[in-house]
């Protein structure tokens, strides 16, 4: 039997029935493929294969049911001898296979798939069909998907230097270049090279995962090197779980870039090996505990290797029902609510911000929680003043920079249903753009362009407060692009699958 014809028609069905093409969620596709195989073998019904791309026609014309059932049984029997089986049911069936001769096992599994007998040893035929097709799917369909990613990656490596190719997708399987560049150290190195060589290409990296998570990190206009790092990931076992990070290496510290790179690199490994059960609501305390522990481990590592380097950190983990946000320093996370307002979900670890927060929290308590329009405007003005403070960048907490003892991670949590987008920024954005300006840009821009537009505004538009001219405590101007500038944005889909 020609396996390439089988795989081609199966893969066509697999990609059609995934919820969103290009999204890293293969459950719908795998279920459909399994059902298609079982129905074809059991009932001679090929209608479960997709009509698109002639998958149905290819299968029926080229592969007889008996041939297919024999092939899949041989496949399973071979795998059971090679230790490829994973879960409990597969192992039980594999054990039964090992207890008999190969040919007998193949014949009996084949007969189960064709509905000729009721069971194979102690396993019912329905279960046999389920397991055998699941195993085939898992290995072959996912292998094809992996191959596509590898193909795009290898092609891009070859063609990128000559044509500056980015975001190469082959058959809509997208490589996570943000992840790749964090692990290889290229994210910062590429930008520094571009700045050093005075290239006409902007010293910036942009990443896009299915228009769902988008990150832009730019050196800015004034700095010689990039010390920000950004990260966005899907959990490898469940793409509904996501991870976003911004780490801002401290410019005043030596090797700030080393600290932010180390943080993002270790966060990749930590998140991808997290048990997906940690994303369940019942385990939220445990998640925070593990996350804080990991950040402290990274702090210890930095202390022992590059003790003078330091970085802020802000991260968001989108779990099953809620999103957990962790922060150290003055990088921020905002949530865009369904009311169209932006809410800062983190507290800057900076004396002036803490005073501002305490003042307005106290006032709000004193007036029973509701501020008048006048006081809301005053509060916004107070907050905007913070950007212009002369010592605005002095933070009380960070990772590294000789921080002994606990780093003091601050956590916050919000229900997934309460926001439509999450935005993480380094202070290169929030020093240059007021909350009012951020909101205006958000309202005016398509979600897939938002990260880029925010970074573009921050590096091109200066802020001016003529009322602060002559003040000893405040600057009256903030230069455009005065710092490294980074934004990572997560855009949720609504129930219709739209953003």
Task: Tell the smallest beta-carbon distance from residue 177 to another protein (Å).
Answer: 11
Selected from 22, 185, 276, 337, the binder of another protein by CB under 8 A is 22
Of 373, 404, 495, 498, the one binding another protein by CB under 8 A: 498
Among 13, 15, 323, 344, binds another protein (CB under 8 A): 15
> Which among 476, 231, 451, 201 has a CA at the least distance from the CA of 334?
451
Handedness of CA 34, 37, 43, 49 (dihedral sign): positive
Residue 201 CB, nearest distance to another protein (Å)?
6
The one among 88, 164, 366, 374 contacting another protein by CB under 8 A: 164
CB of 20 to another protein, least distance (A): 7
Judge contact between 288 and 242, C-beta under 8 A: no
Candidate segments 31-39, 157-165, 310-318, 320-328, binder of another protein by CB under 8 A:
157-165
Among 31, 92, 144, 168, interactor with another protein by CB under 8 A: 168
> Distance between the two ends of the chain, CA-based, in angstroms?
44
CB closer to another protein out of 271 and 490: 490
Binding another protein (rule: CB under 8 A), the pick from 383, 420, 448, 453 is 448
Instruction: Tell me: does residue 156 bind another protein (CB under 8 A).
Output: yes
Q: Supply the minimum distance, in Å, between the C-beta of residue 389 and another protein.
A: 38
- Nearest CA-CA partner of 313 in 297, 322, 300, 325: 325
Q: Does an H or E element contain 315, and which? A: strand 313-318
Give the x-and-dash track for 135-154 against another protein (CB under 8 A): ------------x--xx--x
Q: Is 51 in the site for another protein (CB under 8 A)?
A: no
Ramachandran sector of residue 417 (left: φ over 0; alpha: ψ -120 to 50; beta: rest): alpha
Q: Is residue 169 a contact point for another protein (CB under 8 A)?
A: yes
Selected from 116, 166, 381, 390, the binder of another protein by CB under 8 A is 166
Q: Which of 162, 273, 405, 466 binds another protein (CB under 8 A)?
A: 162
Cα distances from 200 to residues 22, 162, 257, in angstroms, run 32, 15, 23
Subset of 79-108 contacting another protein (CB under 8 A): 82
276 binds another protein (CB under 8 A): no
The H or E element containing residue 415 is: strand 410-415
Residue 499 within binding range of another protein, rule CB under 8 A: yes
By beta-carbon proximity to another protein, the closer residue of 53 and 347 is 53
Instruction: Tell me the three state secondary structure of residue 305.
Output: helix
* Distances 160 to 152, 155, 165, 178 between C-alpha atoms, Å: 11, 8, 4, 15
Q: CA of 401: how far to CAs of 250, 273, 298, 309, 326, in Å? A: 9, 27, 12, 5, 19
Q: Specify the stretch interacting with another protein by CB under 8 A; choose among 13-21, 24-32, 371-379, 404-412.
A: 13-21
Alpha helix segments (H runs only) across 254-400: 256-272, 284-305, 351-366, 373-388
Residue 95 burial (C-beta neighbours within 10 Å; 0-12, 13-18, 19+): middle
Under the rule (CB under 8 A), what is the footprint of another protein? 15, 20-22, 53, 82, 147, 150-151, 154-156, 158-159, 162-172, 201, 211, 448, 498-499
């Amino acid at each position: 039997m020609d396996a390439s014809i089988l795989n081609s028609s199966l893969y066509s069905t697999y990609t059609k029935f995934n919820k969103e093409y290009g999204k890293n969620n293969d459950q719908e596709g795998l279920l459909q493929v399994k059902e298609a195989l079982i129905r074809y073998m059991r009932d001679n019904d090929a209608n479960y294969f997709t009509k698109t791309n002639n998958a149905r026609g290819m299968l029926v014309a080229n592969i007889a049911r008996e041939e297919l059932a024999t092939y899949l049984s041989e496949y399973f029997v071979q795998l059971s001898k090679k230790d490829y089986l994973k879960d409990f049911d597969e192992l039980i069936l594999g054990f039964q296979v090992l207890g008999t001769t190969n040919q007998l096992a193949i014949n009996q599994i084949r007969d189960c798939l064709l509905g000729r007998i009721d069971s194979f040893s102690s396993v019912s035929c329905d279960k046999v069909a389920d397991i055998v097709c699941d195993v085939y799917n898992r290995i072959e369909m996912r292998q094809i998907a992996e191959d596509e990613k590898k193909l795009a990656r290898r092609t891009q490596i070859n063609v990128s230097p000559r044509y500056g190719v980015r975001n190469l997708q082959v058959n809509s399987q997208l490589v996570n270049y943000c992840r790749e560049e964090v692990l290889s150290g290229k994210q910062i190195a590429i930008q520094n090279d571009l700045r050093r060589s005075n290239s006409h290409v902007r010293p910036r990296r942009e990443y896009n995962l299915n228009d769902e998570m988008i990150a832009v990190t730019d050196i800015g206009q004034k700095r010689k090197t990039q010390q920000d790092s950004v990260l966005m990931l899907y959990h490898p076992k469940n793409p509904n779980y996501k991870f976003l990070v911004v780490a801002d290496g401290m410019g005043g510290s030596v090797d700030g870039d080393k600290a932010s790179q180390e943080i993002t690199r270790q966060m990749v490994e930590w998140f991808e090996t997290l048990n997906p059960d940690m994303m369940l609501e019942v385990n939220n305390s445990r998640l925070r505990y593990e996350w804080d522990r990991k950040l402290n481990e990274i702090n210890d590592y930095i202390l022992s290797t590059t003790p003078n380097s330091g970085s802020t950190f802000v991260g968001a983990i989108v779990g099953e029902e809620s999103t957990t946000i962790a922060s150290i320093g003055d990088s921020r996370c905002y949530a865009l609510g369904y009311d169209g307002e932006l809410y800062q979900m983190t507290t800057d670890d900076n004396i002036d911000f803490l005073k501002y927060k305490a003042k307005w929290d106290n006032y709000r308590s004193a007036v029973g929680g509701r501020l008048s329009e006048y006081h809301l405007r005053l509060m916004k003005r107070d907050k905007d003043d913070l950007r212009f403070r002369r010592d605005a960048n002095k933070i009380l907490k960070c990772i590294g920079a000789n921080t002994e003892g606990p780093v003091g991670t601050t956590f916050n949590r919000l229900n997934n249903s309460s926001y439509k987008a999450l935005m993480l920024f380094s202070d290169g954005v929030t020093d240059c753009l007021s909350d009012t300006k951020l909101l205006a840009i958000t309202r005016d821009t398509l979600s897939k362009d938002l990260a880029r537009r925010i970074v573009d505004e921050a590096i091109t538009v200066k802020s001016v407060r003529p009322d602060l001219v002559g003040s000893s405590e405040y600057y009256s101007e903030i230069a455009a692009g005065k710092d490294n500038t980074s934004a990572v944005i997560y855009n949720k889909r609504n129930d219709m699958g739209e953003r």
